[in-house]
């Protein structure tokens, strides 16, 4: 523990800035992880098939109740379309487009902060290294000839602490961003498929009395 604290202190003031970036990045990741992975986690294929079966059977109210049971993005999309109480293809498509504008941004917002924070952490690390090397060379210029090599090596090692910390922050943030984007894209693909199939199911059932049991 003392070694870690010493390593952190030797990196200079810029280490505090990198730590702040890491904390903000972790907060963004945890919030997005909860929204995308935990809250929106649902068996998309099975859910889509169940809703489509209910709609084709004329059980619109049951389909609405099924969608209302979850606050995930996919059921929300179905709920908005089913509650439109329309069987007109043009109207349903307009509702689906409007629903997508309401549902999809909830999945993708703030994701762009993660690569931005990763870049900031890397740049701050480089900045800390530059300041550290400058201080190291200044101390070497004032040292005796026999001590210069030792002081230079020590100064460079300390200066590289900032770069190391910056990279240690940037790499996990980049990986976290890639993971969350892949999860969000999977949900969005299910939403696109669901909206198309649901509209077709509603149109193909002209005898369905929407809004009635």
135-148 per-position pLDDT tens digit: 767 766 665 665 66
pLDDT average, residue stretch 19-38: 95
- Enter the pTM of the model: 0.81
- Give, in order, the Cα–Cα distances in Å from 69 to each of 42, 63, 66, 124: 12, 10, 5, 46
Q: What are phi and psi of 173, to 5 degrees?
A: -65, -40
Torsion of CA 126, 130, 136, 137, to 10 degrees: 140
Give pLDDT, residue 139: 67
pLDDT in tens, 154-178: 677 777 888 999 999 999 999 999 9
The string of DSSP codes covering 113-135 is HHHHHHHHHHHHHHHHHHHHHHH
DSSP category for residue 202: H
């Amino acid at each position: 523990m003392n070694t870690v604290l010493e390593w952190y202190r030797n990196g200079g003031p810029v280490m505090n800035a990198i730590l702040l970036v890491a904390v903000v990045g972790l907060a963004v990741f945890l919030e997005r992880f909860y929204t995308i992975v935990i809250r929106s986690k649902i068996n998309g294929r099975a859910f889509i098939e169940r809703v489509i079966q209910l709609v084709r059977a004329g059980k619109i109210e049951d389909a609405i109740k099924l969608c209302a049971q979850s606050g995930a993005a996919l059921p929300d999309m179905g709920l908005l379309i089913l509650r439109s109480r329309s069987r007109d293809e043009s109207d349903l498509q307009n509702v689906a487009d409007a629903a997508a504008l309401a549902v999809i941004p909830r999945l993708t917002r703030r994701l762009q902060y993660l690569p931005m924070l990763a870049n900031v952490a890397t740049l701050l690390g480089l900045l800390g290294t530059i300041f550290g090397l400058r201080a190291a060379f200044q101390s070497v210029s004032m040292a005796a000839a026999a001590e210069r090599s030792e002081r230079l090596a020590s100064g460079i090692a300390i200066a590289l602490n900032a770069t190391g910390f910056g990279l240690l922050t940037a790499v996990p943030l980049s990986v976290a961003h890639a993971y969350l984007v892949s999860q969000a894209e999977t949900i969005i693909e299910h939403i696109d498929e669901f909206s198309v199939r649901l509209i077709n199911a509603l149109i193909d059932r002209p005898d369905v009395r929407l809004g009635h049991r």
